[in-house]
Structures are given as structure tokens and as C-alpha cells.
Structure 1
Amino acid sequence: MVAILAAVFFAVALIMDLADTSAALGPSVFITAGLLCLALHHAGIGTRRPVRNGRRWSYRR
């Protein structure tokens, strides 16, 4: 739950950084985007876990 809240905060910060017209793609944009991706990863968004179904391995979506 905390990771999803952090992802929302980082998304808002990224939008605010991108809305700033004085600096198009500064380091703060990349830092905020990286922290957003990290928070989404910790929340479990975009991860797949292998599941054993009989004889084959498949991935849970």
C-alpha cells in the first residue's frame, strides 16, 4: 500500500517536473522517473511469477 502511495507521489512530481518549461529534460526528471519505476516495481506492478502447471512452467499475469 505504501509503495502504491509512493508511486502516486512520484507520478505527480514527474508531471510537475515535465510541466516546467525552463528545463526540458534535466536530471531531476530522470531521478523522479526512476523512483516512480522503483515504487511501481515494489508495489508488484509489471512483475510476473512462475507457476507450475503440471509438466510445464507458465507465468501468472
Structure 2
Amino acid sequence: MLAILAAIVFGFMLLLDFLNTDLGAPDLFNVHTMLLLGLLLLSLYLAGVGSGPRGGGGGRWYRGRRPGRG
């Protein structure tokens, strides 16, 4: 989820760069702020934050009977 948000931030910043605008807030929508926000989201994603619930199955990825057991 965080990687998707980072992609949205980078895409939004690219669109603002193509349109050559800052939406009237040059301190909020500048290149450095949005770049740092996108990199923060990517680093949180790579660190495993927000990756969803883990555990409960003990590594069991299938449901029902075990494959190959008749």
C-alpha cells in the first residue's frame, strides 16, 4: 500500500512539473518536499511497515488438505 502511495506522490509531482505549476503553494508543493515524502513512503514499504497482518498460519499457504497426501 505504501509503495502505491509513493507512486501516486511521484506521479502527482511529475504532473505538476509538466504543467509547470505549484498550485499556489510553493512551500508545500516543491520538488524537495514531495521527493522526501515519496522516499519516506518507499523506505517504510521496504522496511515492512503496513504490509498487512502476518502469522496465524505458521507458513501454511494452502487451504484444506495438504497437497500430495491422498
TM normalised by structure 2 equals 0.48
Higher RCO (CA < 8 A, seq sep 6+): 2
> RMSD of the alignment, in Å?
2.1
Check conservation: 1:13, 1:32, Cα contact below 8 A. no
- Deviation of 1:19 (Å): 1.1
* Mapping 1:23-38, distance limit 5 Å: 26-27=26-27, 28=29, 29-38=31-40
Q: Which has the larger share of helix?
A: 1
Identity of aligned residues (%): 12
- Unpaired runs of 5+ in structure 2? 48-70
Q: In terms of Rg, which structure is larger?
A: 2
* Divergent runs of 4+, >6 A: none
In the alignment of these two chains, the number of paired residues is: 42
Any idea what the Cα deviations from partners look like across 1:19-46, whole Å, max 9, x if unmatched?
13356xx44122211111111111117x
Residues in 1 aligned to 2:16 and 2:10: alpha-carbon distance in whole angstroms:
10
